[in-house]
Structure 1
Amino acid sequence: MAGRPITGSQTSGIPKAPFKRTYTDGELYSSVTGYKSMAFGAAGGLDAVLREDIEAGKDVTTTIDPAIQRAAFDGLRGRQGAAVALDAETGNILGLVSAPSFDPGSFSGNSKADERAWNQLKDQGLDGPLRNRALRNVDNPGAAIHVLVAAAALEKGLLASVDTPTHSPAVYAAPDSTTEFSGDPAHCTDASLRMALRHSCANVFARIASDLGADALASIALAFGFNQDKMDTPVRTFESTWPRKPENHAQLALMANGLFEVKASPVQMAMVMAVLANGGNRVHPQMVTSPKTSVPAQRAVSQRTADQLQSALGASVSAWVPSASVSWALSLTRSPAGRPLAIAVCLTSPTSPAGPIAQRIAEADKR
């Protein structure tokens, strides 16, 4: 990391397996490295995916920025969730943290102590520290998905700009349904996209979904990276899903508010913000510097749509709580040197908002 090795090896004293994996700051980087154990195999990160290169003695250079990684790790300490920070122009993953974390060095050997440490982690099940929430947790994004719906409204010509009134009642009922979506009457009645994004106006985005239709929204979701079943960083990221054919208007309106069967990983939501910071181009997220992992950028939306939404969002952190169990925060910011940073934070069973964590990560990018 930044020229400093975070993994190594030491003699094990066992002829058949003479070397044992070692980790520096194991908890800090476990969501990147995963683990490699003499007794329990390798999984969860670069140690498993790039095993052949590593065992052949090749150096693996990651894209992780230690200061950003530390800020994300410290911000998530004591919480359950994940944080991802992307360089929006290159796709380089500068920070990737899953919490709670674990120390892969505590069970990298073949002793009784290693076995106890492994069993303690394994006994915590699928929601325990061994689950990489940054790459492999998908949740309803809730109102965080409004950014994508706003992009669809601009890109498909439904609204001329982020300041065009949407003619939305404070309480909007989906066609042929009793399902209603409401917003603060003072801010959300006939709100522009700028106001609707700022105040999480469910009524506005439900109305936009009905006016655009399922196909238009699905095409934009696909352009932003949803429904990709094989997205490797090179560690595989679980698929973020956008239903292509909702059964009725109520389901479509729910989707436009990040509910129903819309599911997103923290990496995916960071990609959504990166598109806006990168002039409408979608870059592939990666955490190693290698020509083998390089994927050309793809046009997701126009430069004008990206600029409009950047104007509406600004550089400040925005946070949403779509349910009692999940809190999201997304951020766009630039370092003093001009590097564009896209951040996504997701807390599950939150005891506090995700916004301050995203702000902490943004402030750590001093390059």
Structure 2
Amino acid sequence: MTRHIRHAAAFCALLLVALLVNAARVQVVQAPEYDANPANRRPDIARYQQPRGDILVGGEPVTGSRDTGEHLRFERTYRDGPLYAPITGFASQEYGTTLLEHTEDGLLSGADPMLAPLPLWNDVTGARNPGGDVVTTINRAAQRAAYEGLGPHKGAVAAVEPSTGRILALASAPSYDPQRLSGNDATAGRTWRRLNEDPDKPMLNRAVRRTYPPGSTFKVVTAAAALDAGVIRNLDAPTRSPDPYTLPGTRTRLTNESGGCKDASLREAFERSCNTVFAKLGVDVGATDMAATAEGFGFNDDGLLVPFSVSRSTFDTSVDKAQLGLSSIGQYNTRATPLQMAMVAAAVANDGQLRAPYLVERTVRAGGSLVAAAGSSPSRQAMLPATAALLKKLMTGVVENGTGSKAAIRGAVVGGKTGTAQHGVGNSGTPYAWFVSWAQSERAPEPAVAVAVVVEGSAADRERVSGGGLAAPIARAVMEAVLAS
């Protein structure tokens, strides 16, 4: 009898061990699989059981949370949603997260381990910390000036602080209201379909996610390459440039929109935006040095994060001399985001030193204590300081004597460069109007802001599309807002 009891006890013990092993298998080994199962709503219910942390501009939140009283209890809200959409992105119960809402999701949702009072605290207790806040570098007045300046036009604005890399404005038009995507009801579904079917692509962040041919604004880079390489030593010496200029190895004759470009000096060619002079300069500098200078400004960089990713701006390194000439005037395969061209202007303004752009100043816990701070952004020397000093003179000449006069600001030194970029088969597309610039108060020791504006002109405006006419006034408004703050 005792033997049977021992056998039964051993069998029960074996069953108990098997039960414990299976429970461990389910709860430990297979836990990620069950968590990721679409049929499991517990992670979503837990995620939306508390308010989300906020994104702050100028010390004030531009986001919030609304208690719906449903299983997915808290829903994201936005203040001035279209104004800040290129910065915040959206946080949707149905469609996920984008931009800052995505890159800072762990902190905003409370899941980031850095928010826990002690290491592994949440793993032991199963608790979830209150969401933290994200403090941005955005200048509220500059952001509004950029958004309102674009108005009904398609286009984008990027503004940075040259000495630090802080992003002061990111505007994209047309925009959208991210709050209409926050929930998981029929309204969110209809909005999602409408936005994705819209040919104007309102959810596309044109400031950082679309590249354009930069046109004549790229002549800032070409001028820097020519000065750094010693191809040009005197801003006022003739450049021995023919007008028209026949691209090497071809019968294609490059011409200019304005006169006076034959043998023009670099100063005259910059103010008049002479294609012939800058195409020849690019060829004289050579593909290797032109590519090195472009990459020093940030072109061909796949890894730029602000903290969300920025599309790669490109300067083709595998070109013949004719293609190099076109690339050097911002055509052929040369493409740039507005943020990239703001970086070009910022490097000129900052004595040739380019600071990496960034959008998050610091992150904090719900009580206000610091989680992480941006610190000093890395930098690189995009051009020689002496070259930057000469480019400052060239860019101020464009505003004082050339095509950028509409960017002039009383009481400030402003440098700029206009551009009208052709595109499409046979240049059939409506040109893009560009303006890149920087501004320094007469009382300040250094420039406070660098701006890039691109406007996608409409077909009706084709004959009036110009960087000086469409884009420069927007840049001026943004620079004035920063200088006044």
What is the TM-score with the length of structure 1 in the denominator? Answer: 0.95
- One-letter code aligned to 1:24: R
8 Å Cα contact 1:161-1:308 kept in structure 2: no
> Is the partner of 1:298 in helix, strand or coil?
strand
Q: Does residue 1:271 correspond to 2:325, yes or no?
A: no
8 Å Cα contact 1:72-1:95 kept in structure 2: yes
1:165-191: per-residue Cα shift (whole Å, max 9, x none)?
Answer: 211112111222112222367421111
> Is the partner of 1:60 in helix, strand or coil?
strand
Q: Does residue 1:95 correspond to 2:160, yes or no?
A: no
Query: Which of 350, 354, 366 is residue 471 of structure 2 equivalent to?
Result: 354
Larger Rg: 2
For 1:78 and 1:265, how far apart are their aligned partners in 2?
Answer: 20
Query: 1:264 and 1:36, CA in 2 relative to 1: closer, same or farther beyond 3 A?
Result: same
Q: Does residue 1:165 correspond to 2:259, yes or no?
A: no
Q: What is the aligned partner in structure 2 of residue 6 from structure 1?
A: 62
1:247-285: per-residue Cα shift (whole Å, max 9, x none)?
Answer: x21111110111111110000000000000001001111
State, as a whole percentage, how many aligned pairs show the same letter.
37
Deviation of residue 294 (structure 1)? 5.0
Q: Pairwise mapping of residues 1-367 of structure 1 onto structure 2 (< 5 A)?
A: 1-15=57-71, 17-43=72-98, 45-56=99-110, 57-124=131-198, 127-183=200-256, 186-246=259-319, 248-290=320-362, 291=373, 295-314=377-396, 315-323=414-422, 324-335=430-441, 338=444, 339-350=447-458, 351=461, 352=465, 353-365=470-482, 366-367=484-485
8 Å Cα contact 1:194-1:313 kept in structure 2: no
Deviation of residue 336 (structure 1)? 6.5
> Is the partner of 2:170 in helix, strand or coil?
strand
> Is the partner of 2:60 in helix, strand or coil?
coil
- One-letter code aligned to 2:266: L
- One-letter code aligned to 2:61: P
> Is the partner of 1:81 in helix, strand or coil?
strand
> Is the partner of 2:64 in helix, strand or coil?
strand
Mean CA deviation greater in 181-190 or 299-308: 181-190
- One-letter code aligned to 1:363: E
8 Å Cα contact 2:258-2:274 kept in structure 1: no
1:12-70: per-residue Cα shift (whole Å, max 9, x none)?
Answer: 2222x221011111111000000011122112x10011100111211110000010000
8 Å Cα contact 1:170-1:185 kept in structure 2: no
For 2:109 and 2:59, how far apart are their aligned partners in 1?
Answer: 19
Query: 1:294 and 1:49, CA in 2 relative to 1: closer, same or farther beyond 3 A?
Result: farther
> Is the partner of 1:169 in helix, strand or coil?
coil
For 2:253 and 2:477, how far apart are their aligned partners in 1?
Answer: 36
8 Å Cα contact 1:317-1:358 kept in structure 2: no
- One-letter code aligned to 2:238: P
8 Å Cα contact 2:300-2:314 kept in structure 1: yes
Query: 1:108 and 1:139, CA in 2 relative to 1: closer, same or farther beyond 3 A?
Result: same
8 Å Cα contact 1:328-1:347 kept in structure 2: yes
For 1:135 and 1:12, how far apart are their aligned partners in 2?
Answer: 34
- One-letter code aligned to 1:364: A
- One-letter code aligned to 2:60: R
Query: 1:186 and 1:128, CA in 2 relative to 1: closer, same or farther beyond 3 A?
Result: closer
Query: 1:96 and 1:293, CA in 2 relative to 1: closer, same or farther beyond 3 A?
Result: farther
Q: Please, what is the CA RMSD of the aligned residues? A: 1.6
Structure 1 residues without counterparts, runs of 5 or longer: none
> Is the partner of 2:61 in helix, strand or coil?
coil
Q: What is the aligned partner in structure 1 of residue 39 from structure 2?
A: none
Deviation of residue 317 (structure 1)? 4.2
- One-letter code aligned to 1:36: A
> Is the partner of 1:69 in helix, strand or coil?
helix
- One-letter code aligned to 1:111: D
Deviation of residue 223 (structure 1)? 0.5
For 1:322 and 1:29, how far apart are their aligned partners in 2?
Answer: 27
What is the TM-score with the length of structure 2 in the denominator? Answer: 0.72
Query: 1:211 and 1:304, CA in 2 relative to 1: closer, same or farther beyond 3 A?
Result: same
For 1:20 and 1:77, how far apart are their aligned partners in 2?
Answer: 29
> Is the partner of 1:39 in helix, strand or coil?
coil
Deviation of residue 193 (structure 1)? 1.6
> Is the partner of 1:329 in helix, strand or coil?
strand
- One-letter code aligned to 2:392: Q
For 1:55 and 1:243, how far apart are their aligned partners in 2?
Answer: 42
Deviation of residue 112 (structure 1)? 2.2
Count of matched residue pairs: 363
For 2:258 and 2:62, how far apart are their aligned partners in 1?
Answer: 53
Q: Considering Cα pairs closer than 8 Å and 6+ residues apart, tell me whether 1 or 2 has the greater RCO.
A: 1
Structure 2 residues without counterparts, runs of 5 or longer: 1-56, 111-130, 363-372, 397-413, 423-429
